[in-house]
Amino acid sequence: MDLLTLHRVRSRLVGQRTGAINQIRGFLIERGITVRQGPVPLRKALAEILSSNTGVLSPRMIGLIADLAQDWRRLDERIAPCRRRLRRWRSMTTVASA
């Protein structure tokens, strides 16, 4: 039961993270800013996008996207312990069944 609950919590957090990433990407695309597919290229490009003064993003939009990026970081921080617990559980089960 505990393992199933942990999987569900992790799945919910991953879904929320995906939602934040997609929303950031969508807001950028609406303003003509495209970033290569995947979270890693987006994370790398965000700092430059948010700090550039091209006038494409309003200060308000920069703030909103920065808030979403912060949400993304917090979700990563919450997902990591779930992932570690699941790995530990798997390794304990593998050792026990060997």
10 Å Cβ neighbour count for 76?
Answer: 14
Quickly list H helices, 31-53.
Answer: 39-51
Q: What pLDDT, in 10s, does the model give residues 47-61?
A: 999 998 788 899 999
Q: What pLDDT, in 10s, does the model give residues 30-48?
A: 999 999 999 999 999 999 9
- The pTM of the full predicted model, rounded to 2 decimals, is 0.85
Q: What's the CA gap between 36 and 58, in Å, rounded?
A: 22
User: Tokens 């919910």 appear where?
Assistant: 12
